[in-house]
Copies of this chain bind each other. A is one copy, B any other.
Amino acid sequence: MSATETTKEKMLEAATVLFTSKGYHGTSIREIASKTGVNISLISYYFGGKQGLLEALMTDFLEGYMEELELAVKTPHHDSYEKMLYMAERVLTFMKERHLRARFVLREMTLDSTLIREITSTYLMKEKHLYSIVLKKGIQEGTFAPVSVQWTIMQFRGMVIMPYLHHQYVREVFHLHPQQPHFIKMYRKELREWASKVLLSDSKKEEHKAIPFHHTQHQADFVQP
């Protein structure tokens, strides 16, 4: 890795941390440069300005994100149910490994600046498309109940990104840490549970026996009826 690449990477990392906690506009390039340990002007030099840095950050993340989804779709599975969960799994793992950047990008996508829209819209469409394919296939196969494709995607996507976008909330209110392996394991089970209840067709429900709540053993917040 060349000197340039190393420095660039360090900059992106510093920017990620700062952007995530203070927001894009709330962070000055001076802070980024200082955190990286280089001169201010190097940011404009490498990325052509603060905005270039933002674009690099987002594009880089979204590209990786989409790649995970695409690879997941290509991977052969027993049925659409397993594929759907595998998609979530890969995306979750991907975001876990870069949870700060994930949080920042997901938040930034809630703004409606033209710039953001330009960067993200293609990816969002693609994401919808991929989920859509799998869902439709599953319904046709009879694996899934005849659910509304769009509402299901919205729900599913919402659940997948939730721990990262609402990282702060999850941590403060529930004392859970979405960047830790433990969390992922549990969250996977929750998703599976949800999917089995909401997605599966009645005929398939018995085939796919929902994983029993053995993960609840390390959770003390249950109320016995």
Binding site for B on A (CB under 8 A): 20-26, 103, 107, 109-113, 117, 121, 124-125, 128, 135-136, 139-142, 146, 148-151, 153-155, 158-159, 162-163, 165-170, 172-174, 176, 190, 194, 197-198, 201, 213, 216, 219, 221-225
Contacts and interface: CB of A to CB of B under 8 A. Distances in A.
B124 A172 contact: yes
Nearest to A193: B198
A141 B225 contact: yes
Q: How many copies does the complex hold?
A: 4
Contact of A174 (B26, B103, B109, B150): B150
15 contacts: A21-B113, A22-B25, A22-B113, A23-B26, A23-B111, A110-B168, A140-B223, A146-B223, A148-B219, A149-B221, A151-B190, A154-B166, A155-B159, A155-B162, A201-B225
**Secondary structure call for the A interface:** helix
A173 B128 contact: yes
Given A23-B25, A24-B26, A128-B173, A221 B110 contact: no
A103 B112 CA distance: 11
A125 B174 CA distance: 9
